[in-house]
Structure 1
Amino acid sequence: MSRRKALLIGINYYGTDHELNGCINDAENIRNFLVEERGFSPSDHDMVMLSDSPENEGTPFFPTAANIMAGINWLVTRNQPGDVLWLSYSGHGGQVRNDERESGFDDTICPVDFMENGQIPSQKLHRAIVSPMNPECRLTILFDCCHSGSACELPYVYRPDEEGNVNMVDTIKQGIGLIRAAEGLFEGGFSMSKIDDAKMLLGGATDFFNGLHHRRNQDVDEDGLAPEEFEEHWETEGKDVWMFSGCADNQTSADTSIAGAPTGAMSWALVRTLRENPEQSYINILQNTREELAQKYSQIPQLSCGGRYDLDQPLVKTSHKVASR
């Protein structure tokens, strides 16, 4: 018999210069949604919530780096085929220098003790979350934090544009726009300041196109996508993982208030979308979540997958992959 397990993390960073307001509420709202709408059990055996509520300090439920990694290990190991897993994180996301990457940075999440013990980089998260998974389990991830697009380094990334079309066109247009802006600077004559501005714009365009990482001459799928190029060939793992993230790598994720209660904009929009229609496909969830966010926020949610899976399948209760590898 399949089992449902969930790890929910919400960090408000109480009493620090980095304090947020809605992250613990996000975790509680996700817990209520999973129990009420998705058949998860709230028992400690099946659902673990880490938060920096004062009563958790000094316990395994305080979201230090060590406790987060222990919680992840509990979630993704010793599972049986058909198990359904959920991981959500609401808190600060960041970036740390990594000169071995084309972008020069690793995306990270920030445990409550990140000032003392550091941030958790995306490569470490992938190795802890995705690599140990039973390939016959399905894991859904929600990351509501800044710079969350590549937080788990999943190889296939889908983003909706302004019309709701799910592809990479918005990023490509942004790079092309920078090139055109650089060209437009020279209308009316040259100047040293214009040359400097053009170099900056063209450098930005190069970063955008390098950020696509589609340089292996691989076949693309019907959406025009090829795997993201990380240091490891994660696309060969074929793990059944689907991650909704609050924004692209170069964006911030809003901490806001809905109906008087502090919350993360992405967490609120995703739960609202799923409650309104529980049987939506993955692509519909992504499109409708963007539509919700676009009414007030500039952040663009995205969906990352462990393989080339059928985005038209519903967010189902058991593992059913459709892949071409």
Structure 2
Amino acid sequence: MRKLMQLAFIFVTIVAFAQTKEVIKFRGNILNYTENPYSFFKVIDQREDKQIGTLPFGEQKEMKEVVFPSTPDADFSAWYLKSNQPGKLTDFVLVLKKLKLSTGESDGKNTEGKMEFSAQTFAKTGDKYQFLYKKDTVFTFYDKEVSELMVKNIPAIFSVFIKKSYSLNPTGNLVSLNDLADYTSLVKTNYPALKEAPLKDGIYLDYISFFNQTPEQGDYVLEINNKGDVTKAVKEENGKKTKIPAYKIFAYVEKGKARKSTFSGFLDLDKDENGFYLLANRGHLFPVQSNSTYGMFGLIGGIAGAIEQGARQKKMKSGGSGKVYIDPLTGEYDFSEE
């Protein structure tokens, strides 16, 4: 009888333990449609905090810890091999910097949830790594069952991020495994715009030319409408005019002062020890959405219920502004400090 009771106790303990875990299910695919086949998918887990989050689930709001099925490296590798034939020589490497879930305020119907996301991808040949893509951001979810919604969308968010990486060619110098821990800081020292020399006046059509300080050739003059908005840049050479519309300009520098193109027009681009930043919020930088399908990473829509923080533009635009940095590796906004 005592042995039977012990077995029963062990069984109940195992069941209770299992019920405290919410396992991420890697549904969907990370099929590589490009002509860049990778031999394997590897994950380097650099998260300082390996806990994803403990959240309330179900009608009873039972607290469960969100976990990977096994390890990030094993889980992503298995997910990759479900839909991809291994190529040769080059490995796809995902460096996971942060994955953190939390819940916040509720209006009585929907609860706010946040996902902090930070990851980088590299192509590995031999024992060296070359940069592909990175993203640092915060996603916000609003739903009655917000915990379930966030966990369900973890694979979808990684899928978008990974497929974006597939489409890019490796860039930059080949670096060692030890360099990956602080890759962003390492490469920042190579950009002329981040050094102490004054910025060069001129028109810059993309983030690469801006951070490398290679403006468009020629003397461009900015045209401004009666509202004070920049509409285009024009240069005249040998009796021929060249016009660049405002929407094609990444940034311009005038008398050493930089201004960046945004959804709300050109905003001042300032610099501190962390890099270039705008004093803005998401309401200034992203257009308001008209339905429940929201863009993610600025790449695609289609993840119902999951939106980047501040997609409610009207509300956010009236809120406070803070420093929003421009990622020198991608030209995208970095919201990792929120």
Return the TM-score normalized by structure 2.
0.30
> Rg bigger for which structure?
2
Structure having greater relative contact order (Cα 8 Å, sep ≥ 6): 1
Q: Specify which structure has the higher proportion of helix.
A: 1
Give the strand-richer structure, 1 or 2.
2
